[in-house]
Amino acid sequence: MLSKALCFLGVCIVALTASCKKDNNNNTNPASACNGKNLCMKIGGTSFSEDAVWREISTTRRRILWETGSGTTYKNVELDIYDMTANDGTFQVAENPGAGQAGFQYFTASPASNISGVSGTVTLTSAANNTLSGTFVITAKDQNNATVEITEGNFVNVPKQ
């Protein structure tokens, strides 16, 4: 009788395990990917992690955006993807992005700094359930035309605003 009960219990465990819905979302958890935030990167070697949203700027342009403050305390990051028609893909960063490309900007009012992407890649790994996830590596220029490297870029389950 005990062996039948154990067998039945084993069948139940297997059935329950098989019936559990597997999360097919390949995205990492923001808490582990970006120190609890959903957008992170290193700008010139300095780590940066914030919570961002994305907006549909036009039918062919998506902007991942983080901003805070106003006046002299204003800061923002804009990561634009142009002509995003699929749920994944790689987009080349350009100074003046167009179809199939991406753009990047990091701005701070004080101290005054405006860093704009000139080359690199943005890889969109998922655009599902009104969230965007992916990675990026960008070479940028600041307002003095000095090169700034944007490395370890990661955006995870950034929600649509």
The owner of tokens 């009788």 is 1
Q: Cα–Cα distance between 40 and 17 in angstroms, integer?
A: 35
Burial class (CB in 10 A: 0-12, 13-18, 19+), 128: middle
Secondary structure of 114-129 as H, E, C letters? EEEEEEEEEEEEEEEC
- pLDDT 10s digit of each residue in the chain, 161 long? 444 443 443 433 333 333 333 334 444 455 567 889 999 999 999 999 999 999 999 888 999 999 999 999 999 999 999 987 777 899 999 999 999 999 999 999 999 999 999 999 999 999 989 999 999 999 999 999 999 999 999 999 999 99
Q: Cα–Cα distance between 134 and 86 in angstroms, integer?
A: 13
The owner of tokens 């098989």 is 18
Helix (H, G, I), strand (E, B) or coil at 9: helix
